[in-house]
Amino acid sequence: MGMAEGKIVTAAVVVIGNEVLSGRTRDANLHFLALRLNDVGVRLREARVVSDEEAAIVAAINECRARYDYVFTSGGIGPTHDDITADAVAKAFGVGIGIDPRARALLEAHYDAGVLNEARLRMARIPHGASLINNPISRAPGFRMENVFVMAGVPAIMQAMFEGIRHDLVGGAPLLSRTIGARVPEGQLATPLARVQEAHKDVQIGSYPYYRGGALGTSIVLRATDRARLDAAAEAVRGIMREAGAEPIEGDAP
């Protein structure tokens, strides 16, 4: 993986599937991608969940690929009638789609003779001009069109696909993170925390209240690419917590 010096590299994730929107399937791919993208210096700026409808998928892909450096999709590239992601991506890019001989060869090598039926061959339909993304688990490949990476919805397969392409990503500096918690209500910290943010504009500061063990508390999450600036902001946060009468704890306070 290369690094884009001084550039903030951004990404969006498009999760595709009615089963996610209905609540039948709990998405695990967004959490994985958010963590792994940050590891390679790519900041996840947006996540969308869209239905198995061509127009919705086309719109999401075209909007996101124009706005962000990378787009990652998960879901909708299987063998059934509602797996329409490949067709939608082809339409978004204005290209044709058909059985790709490279993808077909992978499936033929994977399945026993006579098992590769018409339904399974749907997984070899790839938009024209796309490069393949290796699938070391079930062999049916994902694919890449320009800055759009199309991957499976099954978490284990999607994760294996991502590990195969992450070295192709050019990222900026990874975003470092620090969490500081205290047993103090969020409202008590709001005004001094705003002053800390004003003094450390290059650090992202988020405030997250919680209620545990019968008491209110607040976790402050700080993010920055510069460790020294992150440390300085963190020390300022500890200071306002102590002024509020609470002892700061690294991580979420119990």
Residue 83: band (very low, low, confident or very high) from pLDDT cuts 50, 70, 90: very high
Residue with tokens 């320009």: 146
Give the mean model confidence (pLDDT) for residues 210-235. 93
Give the helix/strand (H/E) hosting 84. none
Q: What is the pLDDT of residues 18-58, one digit of tens each?
A: 999 999 888 999 999 999 999 899 999 999 999 999 999 99
The whole-number pLDDT of residue 9 equals 94
The whole-number pLDDT of residue 229 equals 95
The whole-number pLDDT of residue 7 equals 80
Q: What is the pLDDT of residues 197-210, one digit of tens each?
A: 999 999 999 999 99
Give the mean model confidence (pLDDT) for residues 205-220. 92
- Give strand pairing partners of 182: 218
Residue closest to 210 by CA, chosen among 189, 179, 185, 243: 185
Q: In the structure, how many helices (H) and strands (E) does the chain have?
A: 9, 12
Lowest-confidence pick of 175-179, 192-196, 249-253: 249-253
Sheet holding 42-50, edge to edge: 42-50, 9-16, 70-74, 148-151, 142-145, 131-133
Query: Which residues make Cβ contacts (< 8 Å) with residue 133, sequence separation at least 6?
Result: 141, 142, 143, 144, 149, 150, 151, 161, 164, 165
Residue closest to 184 by CA, chosen among 109, 110, 242: 242
Q: What is the pLDDT of residues 104-117, one digit of tens each?
A: 999 999 988 888 88
Query: At residue 3, does pLDDT exceed 70?
Result: no
Instruction: Kindly state the tokens that stand for 113.
Output: 């003779």
Half-sphere exposure of 238 (CA within 13 A, CB side): 13
Query: At residue 150, does pLDDT exceed 60?
Result: yes
